[in-house]
Structure 1
Amino acid sequence: MLGVGAVSYASILGAFPFFFMDRYTLKSPVTHLVVKRLLPAPLLGLMSAFTVVAVRCPEFENGIEVMDRNGKVVGVSKKAGEKAVKETALSRGILFGTTFFLPAALMHFVERANTAKTPRALASIRMLLIMAVLAGMLPTSFGMFPQCGEIKREELEAEILSSTEETVLFYNRGI
């Protein structure tokens, strides 16, 4: 249900600038530049981050397991869950925002250089740029934060503080 809500929300938010532009007959070149070229990348990044937060909402509510250095589960922490979801949402937002923004910016220069003569050639170049940027950003996005995150003992809940003397605890961030 959360996935359906996230996809619906992303679709509505993605269509809203175009609806707004048509409704109020904003046809200036600057408006078209902003709505068609500049606005989609940050919107896609925000929607990707929001989707991660919406789908992983139970980790905010229930928490995730935290472990000591030996891998022994010490307890379940909501604060570690919040940190894990925030890190994943940030990495997803950067992944998809950059993957959408960079090819659009590079296509501007390709179009100005007039290297591709037909629309089919332009579409092929756009797809190649998207694949190249995505191939570079995927490992970058996954490598931004370690899979096994660390959280200081002082940042955790009281029941976990009383159950261990470790100064740093670990959690699985998820994908």
Structure 2
Amino acid sequence: MDESSYWSRVQRIFNMMDIRTAFVTSAQVDAALDLLEQHEQGGEISAEKLDRARKIKEAVIHPDTGEKIFLPLRLSFIIPCNLVLDTLMLSARGFSQNVGAQWLNQTYNCLHYYANRNASNAESMEKIFQAYLGATASSVGAAVGLNALLDRAPQGRPWTRLARKLIPFCAVAAADVLNLGITRRDEFLQGIKVYDEKGEEVGESRRAGAMAVSACILARVSAAAPVLLLPPLVMHRLERTRFFLRHSYLKTPALMGMIALSIQAGVPLSFGIFKQKASVDVASLEPSLWNCRVSEVYYNKGL
């Protein structure tokens, strides 16, 4: 996979988000893997078939485990899942709707993060459950707490209505930090495997694990910003226009359309900031790795 430039990484994530790859059958995945193996052994495969096989592998196969990622948790299925969840969060009104929307979103996020993690370390169900509880509690607490705070604001202030539209992003950002931090804490507490450019294991590094988790947190928060900030801010202006006052039933479809576009554009642009196969100088890692046979090592950042 080409990750040499920012735009090549953006294109790679964009291709991974192609919803058609979410529905490939197990037989099609196996056929793609066989095709790639034939190519590595010197077989002549057309460029079109080779690109298609690589696209399927990157979208479906976990880079560490080599196993197929469950369909709803693949990156290629992120638009339909998040379209529903983000619409629910941005449309939530009142205590029960806010709690329900945040709970559903964090349930999906926890499963998605785990499915696309760096799999150097096995995660126990206890740790996964702790991450799930922590993320759900933080997102629900942020959403309910900020809404309660705005309820105490002086009545009639125009900024309160706008501020409420920003609450889902604040809740999701807080939960992302806690969710990824807990789910993947073994990566910076125990370390992750690092490899040379040929893919041979060099050792394990806690510092590389911290870099991987930090990069994923930044990418996730950056990806959430355009999705949970731009559509509600635009709708805040549009819903007061004559057209939407007359056709109020179009507000939700318009919001969903903007959310879908924001996900399709925002996720590749945000995830492309960091390389999936990240590299780091050995001198920046633990002293125990300084005497290894290479000066630069690689690791799977995870998604």
Alignment TM-score, normalising by the size of structure 2? 0.53
Out of 40, 53, 73, which is 2:181 matched to?
A: 53
Residue pairs, 1:143-154, within 5 angstroms: 143-154=272-283
Of 74-83 and 62-71, the range deviating more from structure 2: 62-71
Please state how far the C-alpha of 1:132 moved relative to its aligned partner. 1.1
**Consecutive unaligned residues in structure 1, runs of 5 or more:** none
Residue pairs, 1:3-42, within 5 angstroms: 3-22=132-151, 24=152, 26-33=154-161, 35-42=163-170
Give the equivalent residue in structure 2 for 1:168.
Answer: 296
Please state how far the C-alpha of 1:105 moved relative to its aligned partner. 1.7
- Which has the larger share of strand? 1
CA separation in 1, counterparts of 2:249 and 2:186?
A: 45
CA separation in 1, counterparts of 2:138 and 2:177?
A: 12
- Describe the SS at the equivalent of 1:115: helix
Give the equivalent residue in structure 2 for 1:157.
Answer: 286
Provide Cα deviations, 1:7-39, integer angstroms capped at 9, x if missing partner.
1121111110112233x4543424514531344
CA separation in 1, counterparts of 2:139 and 2:278?
A: 29
Q: Do the aligned partners of 1:6 and 1:50 also contact (CA within 8 Å) in 2?
A: yes
Please state how far the C-alpha of 1:143 moved relative to its aligned partner. 1.5
- Describe the SS at the equivalent of 2:239: helix
The one-letter code sitting in structure 2 at the alignment partner of 1:133 is S
Q: Please state if 1:86 is matched with 2:202.
A: no
Please state how far the C-alpha of 1:69 moved relative to its aligned partner. 1.4
Give the equivalent residue in structure 1 for 2:253.
Answer: 124
The sequence identity of aligned pairs, in percent, is 24
Residue pairs, 1:97-112, within 5 angstroms: 97-112=225-240
- Kindly report structure 1 stretches of 4+ aligned residues shifted beyond 6 Å: none
* RMSD of Structure 2 on Structure 1 (CA): 1.9
Mark the CA change 1:50 to 1:75 in structure 2 (over 3 Å): closer, same or farther.
same
CA separation in 1, counterparts of 2:144 and 2:181?
A: 21
Provide Cα deviations, 1:102-143, integer angstroms capped at 9, x if missing partner.
101221232243332233211111111111111111222322
The one-letter code sitting in structure 2 at the alignment partner of 1:73 is E
Alignment TM-score, normalising by the size of structure 1? 0.88
The one-letter code sitting in structure 2 at the alignment partner of 1:171 is Y
Of 36-45 and 69-78, the range deviating more from structure 2: 36-45
Provide Cα deviations, 1:41-60, integer angstroms capped at 9, x if missing partner.
34433432332222211212
**Consecutive unaligned residues in structure 2, runs of 5 or more:** 1-128
Mark the CA change 1:67 to 1:59 in structure 2 (over 3 Å): closer, same or farther.
same
Q: Do the aligned partners of 2:166 and 2:228 also contact (CA within 8 Å) in 1?
A: no
- Describe the SS at the equivalent of 1:74: strand
Q: Do the aligned partners of 1:149 and 1:171 also contact (CA within 8 Å) in 2?
A: yes
Please state how far the C-alpha of 1:76 moved relative to its aligned partner. 0.7
